[in-house]
Structure 1
Amino acid sequence: MDKTRQERYNMIYGNTARKIEASTQPASTQPERKQRPRRKVQTTPQTKQNQKRVQSIDLAFIKVLVAGICVIAAMSFFYLSERAQFMKQKSVLSDSKTQLNTLQVENEDMNLEIEQSIKFDTIETAAKKYGMSKPDASHILRYESQDAEYIRQYGKIPNAD
């Protein structure tokens, strides 16, 4: 009863197939079952008629099937059109953001260029040429605002004293 694994499963090792010898024992060790003859189920004519009716495809089923396919097709078309519109709007938004960033950088560069182009010495000499002079302390009026407003200061304010 002690068989090796190779003998138990009729394994052949190697790179060539060998002819298997017919053994005296059957391949399966389980006893054969006796099959009982099947009884033929007798069906009534009403049952046969119901089976035929169920197996056939009637007009109502086809209508429901076509309606379902139409609904699915319409929903798919609507989804795809909305998706395409969304992607188009997303592309336009991206382009607008890129354009905005470009314009902001150009604006900052122009402001910097304008600030650097102003030469106060040239303005002062031109003002003296036309007879202008610096204001005295009596000419300066102070304004006190009661509303807190936002003020942008670009440079240091010189002392009035």
Structure 2
Amino acid sequence: MTVQELYRQARYILEDAGLDSPDFDAGELSAHFFGLDRAGIALYGNRTPPSEAAAAFCRAVKERAARRPLQYLLGQWEFMGLTLQVGEGVLIPREDTVVLVEELAAGLRGVPVPRGLDLCAGTGAVALGLCSLLPDTEALCLELSPTALSFLKRNLDAYPQYHVQV
């Protein structure tokens, strides 16, 4: 099967499963497994992907149809311009978290060196998001879950320019 055929099949499966955004989900999975977004599929979708990539894609589509979060299947998610590692055992940063971080940043504007403590930090989205808006911020993240802590450490390591510690 070509990438385009796999993408179309995925859309059909996800739509049949009653997911809200089958086009988006199939596109994100295609980008992840084949390196082609929806525009790329239109241009290069006639290519046959490696069998390993096609098999992994089909497994992910099946899991997504069973309602496994897309973000867990991708292993990462964009949050406020940051790419955060996510997976089982950690909450996925959402749009309401963006509102929280933006309101927090608005309240801290003008503070010379904002300092904060992020309890149950999970992915570190709040601390890292705040630092992306206010780069002089210093934050300390605490996380008790060993699983979540591993995601937190990886995400903090990916953004050494921010003053965030565990």
TM-score between both structures, scaled by the size of structure 2 = 0.19
More strand by share: 2
Rg larger for? 1
Between the two structures, name the one with larger relative contact order (CA 8 Å, sep ≥ 6): 2
